[in-house]
Amino acid sequence: MQEVSIFSKMAQLSQAYNAVNLGQGYPNFDCDDRLKSLVIKYLNEGKNQYAPMAGVPELRTSIAQKLLKSYDIDVDPHTEITITSGATQAIFTIINAMVRKGDEVIVMEPAYDSYVPSIKAAGGMPKVYEMEAPHFKIDWNVIKKLISAQTKMIIINSPHNPTGSVLTKDDLKELELLIAERDIFILSDEVYEHLIYDGVVHQSVLKYPEIRAKAFAVFSFGKTFHNTGWKMGYAVAPEMLSQKLRNLHQWNVFSVNSFIQYALAEYLKMSNTYDGLSTFYEKKRDYLLDTLDDLPFKKTKSQGTYFQLYDFSDYSQENDLDFSEWLVKEHGVATIPISPFYSSDRTCQHVRFCFAKTEVVIDQAASRLSHL
């Protein structure tokens, strides 16, 4: 039997103790009415049968235009973009299309929880690099030492869940050097591309031609348009790699929800859809930081995503699993401990707060935590 994930466990505890839930990694507010109207429009217009395997052409064209605007790159909508059922399906399908028994895949932990199981499902072996608090930086010299003749892929994620760190131009240059003249593919998880703060610019692998030639970049509409439950995403890769992804995608889901694809295609052409997202979430991050300023916890400002880590080691010597359970039971605030984001059984003293919440909810959490 599959063990209960930390997300399910904290959600159950949160409900049982009637807690303020800052653990859930999704917004507690709704998506744009304009987008919902478009979904209804296409539903009523009868866009209710199978979409083409790689996605409806209108959506792929709108995405190509978005990529041109965001990253100043030309992407062929017909051969290089594949619409997926969220980023998670893209990640699973890419890994299983590329990785064979005995291949090694380098993963930086703490990491989004689907990477390692997807590698194992493909028969591959995760080679884990553990990033360390407080900045969770990557030492590329250590990554170089992890590379062997079996290394098939390196997975990166920026902005990064759960730490809120981001990769810099220098990181990307190091990565470029590392894979030059090696047959190593990159899976770049960029689902939080627009949630990046303090004027920092997202470094998509798509902006680095030598990396792009060997990379799959994955994106999620759920994160960008506040509708994680719709499970809509896409993968961008050169034609040869997209072909490999599609070869498996066709047997995996074949195609994804048609009327939402048409709605997203039209919505992407409208103004004020994702342009203000950084400012919107930066305000929320700052509100959380200000409101919880008196907490006896240390923190490094989140640079991206909608997560903020807090280090409680000056306050308690408990591990993060026990501490987050105590926090929800005794103080009625649910968070997520970060040790489950590592595959080793190391202990940590950090908990993750999600600030994709209304100010009312953040105020409630602050008021409950004021007794600490």
Ligand X SMILES: Cc1ncc(COP(=O)(O)O)c(C=O)c1O
> Residues in the site for ligand X, rule: CB under 6 A?
25, 86-88, 112, 157, 161, 189, 191, 220, 222, 228, 233
Task: Name which of 110 and 332 has its Cβ closer to ligand X.
Answer: 110
Q: To the nearest 5 percent, what fractions of the chain are helix, strand and coil? A: 40, 15, 45
Taking the complex as a whole, the smallest distance from the CB of residue 353 to ligand X amounts, in Å, to 15
Q: Report the distance separating Cα 329 and Cα 119, nearest Å.
A: 35
- Geometric angle at alpha carbon 353, from 16 and 130, rounded to 5°: 115
Taking the complex as a whole, the smallest distance from the CB of residue 323 to ligand X amounts, in Å, to 22
Check the CA dihedral 173-175-177-179 and report its sign: negative
Q: Report the distance separating Cα 3 and Cα 238, nearest Å.
A: 37
**Number of residue whose CB is nearest ligand X:** 86
C-beta of residue 133 within 8 angstroms of C-beta of residue 367: no
Question: What are the distances in angstroms from CA 364 to CA 29, 38, 309, 357, 367?
Answer: 16, 34, 18, 11, 5
Task: Name which of 87 and 369 has its Cβ closer to ligand X.
Answer: 87
Task: Name which of 14 and 157 has its Cβ closer to ligand X.
Answer: 157
Task: Name which of 221 and 310 has its Cβ closer to ligand X.
Answer: 221
Taking the complex as a whole, the smallest distance from the CB of residue 328 to ligand X amounts, in Å, to 20
Taking the complex as a whole, the smallest distance from the CB of residue 226 to ligand X amounts, in Å, to 12
Task: Name which of 25 and 27 has its Cβ closer to ligand X.
Answer: 25
Taking the complex as a whole, the smallest distance from the CB of residue 221 to ligand X amounts, in Å, to 7
Amino acid at 240: M
Task: Name which of 264 and 366 has its Cβ closer to ligand X.
Answer: 264
Residue partners of 190: CB distance under 8 A and separation at least 6? 157, 158, 202, 204, 205, 217, 218, 219
Taking the complex as a whole, the smallest distance from the CB of residue 218 to ligand X amounts, in Å, to 7
Taking the complex as a whole, the smallest distance from the CB of residue 185 to ligand X amounts, in Å, to 17
* Residues present in the chain in total: 372
Phi-psi map region of 226: left, alpha, beta (phi>0 left; psi -120 to 50 alpha): left
Task: Name which of 278 and 291 has its Cβ closer to ligand X.
Answer: 278
Amino acid at 120: K
